[in-house]
Amino acid sequence: MDSLFDDNCITARLDDVQYMTSLGLESNIGSAAKDKVFFYHRGVKDLSSRKVILILLHGYPQTSHILSSHILSVSTIEQFLIPGLDGDTSSASKKDSSIHSRSGHDRGARVCHRLAVDAHSLSRSTFKGTILMDIVPTIIQWKSFADSAAAVDSYHWPLLANVDLATAMMKSLGAETFIKANIERWAGSNATAVARFNEQDAKSVYASSFKYDSVIRASSDDYRAGAFEDITQQEEDQIAGKKLDVDVLALFSAGYLGSRYNVEEVWREWMGSGVLEVNGFGGGVRHFIAEEAPEKTSEAIQRFYARHG
């Protein structure tokens, strides 16, 4: 079995698949091991279609279950592709001639940022725009750790970047315990938002994925790449003047990310010819904006998609 793709962590969650397909989605669970990526989709039968596909990417420590809280609210969007991040999520867009927009949260948003900068090189596909949920550029996040409070708050960045040590420590403590504790650190304080997050038992769904060594190691290795390769690429981009030439919608938590950065000001420095729109979420909503404020998230995604469809 490929050490970076453990199909047991997919087949063990058949109840998840049943729930997500009950929302009108289809999956590739029958061919996921061969495809080396697991995904859900709706209406994506022909990648040469002229209809815009919305590609949705989850963050850490989430799964595609992040979308269950608001998938029905964006039902007017005809075509979704929802890959997991344990495979090469960029490979499809490099090989097909689709028209697509991307939306990502946390680590998924960092994938969206990278692909948006490289959109000109995806010659066979058309990149219409990207939605970035609760991030600033990776290099900006690392630089902010010069502030001790920011470093403590995001302690997991350097910890997980030490892949072997992080994997051993998480397994020793119990990875599910580690994940649940951190979800509580990053979740909001608003009672309604917390209740929305807890719908469909999201915390347990996310944590249960980390019972597999392959998930612990692969997700930690993503943070390692964020400390090295991603930083190098972003430094090179800035020197070369490679900016975001596609439209960007940046959604952020005012009480979490917005308490540490002027999100609009930061992203304007990274924009090229694309148009930037920024939307902050207040009222005690923190990092998990899609789960804690699903209606507002859905409305923002749908408006952006409608303008770029």
Of 7-21, 77-91, 215-229, where does mean pLDDT reach its minimum? 77-91
Give yes or no: residues 246 and 211 share one domain: no
Give yes or no: residues 95 and 220 share one domain: no
Q: Is the pTM of this model over 0.85?
A: yes
Give domain status of residue 285, yes or no.
yes
Give domain status of residue 236, yes or no.
no
Give domain status of residue 116, yes or no.
yes
Give yes or no: residues 71 and 175 share one domain: no
Give yes or no: residues 130 and 151 share one domain: no
Of 170, 193, 225, the residue that ends a domain is 225
pLDDT tens per residue, range 214-245: 899 999 999 999 999 999 999 999 999 999 99
More confident residue, 37 or 300: 300
What mean pLDDT comes out for the span 103-118?
A: 94
Give domain status of residue 272, yes or no.
yes
pLDDT confidence of residue 70: 60
What mean pLDDT comes out for the span 284-309?
A: 90
Give yes or no: residues 89 and 205 share one domain: no
Give yes or no: residues 158 and 255 share one domain: no
Give yes or no: residues 81 and 194 share one domain: no
Report the CATH number that the domain containing residue 99 is assigned in CATH: 3.40.50.1820
Give domain status of residue 283, yes or no.
yes
Q: Give the rounded percent of residues in the chain with a pLDDT score beyond 90.
A: 54
What mean pLDDT comes out for the span 74-97?
A: 57
Give yes or no: residues 91 and 105 share one domain: yes
pLDDT confidence of residue 98: 56
Count: domains in the chain: 2
What mean pLDDT comes out for the span 159-171?
A: 97
Give domain status of residue 185, yes or no.
yes
Average model confidence (pLDDT) for the chain? 85
pLDDT band at 258 (very low <50, low <70, confident <90, very high): very high
pLDDT confidence of residue 11: 55
pLDDT band at 66 (very low <50, low <70, confident <90, very high): confident
Of 182, 200, 225, the residue that ends a domain is 225
pLDDT confidence of residue 69: 59
Give domain status of residue 233, yes or no.
no
Give yes or no: residues 18 and 116 share one domain: yes
Give yes or no: residues 207 and 276 share one domain: no
Give domain status of residue 3, yes or no.
no
H, E, C per residue of the chain: CCCCCCCHHHHCCHHHHHHHHHCCCEECCCCHHHHCCCEEEECCCCCCCCCEEEEEECCCCCCHHHHHHCCHHHCCCCCEEEECCCCCCCHHHHHCCCEEEEEEECHHHHHHHHHHHCHHHCCCCEEEEEEEECCCCHHHHHHHHHCHHHHHHCCHHHHHHCHHHHHHHHHHHCHHHHHHHHHHHHCCCCHHHHHHHHHHHHHHHHHHHHHCHHHHHHHHHHHHHHHCHHHHHHHHHHHHCCCECCEEEEEEECCCHHHCCCHHHHHHCCECCCCEEEEEECCCCCCCHHHHCHHHHHHHHHHHHHHHC
Of 91-100, 127-136, 255-264, where does mean pLDDT reach its minimum? 91-100
Give yes or no: residues 182 and 249 share one domain: no
pLDDT band at 42 (very low <50, low <70, confident <90, very high): confident
What is the extent of the structural domain holding 51? Answer: 8-138+242-308
Of 199, 225, 251, the residue that ends a domain is 225
Give yes or no: residues 172 and 252 share one domain: no
pLDDT confidence of residue 96: 45
pLDDT confidence of residue 124: 56
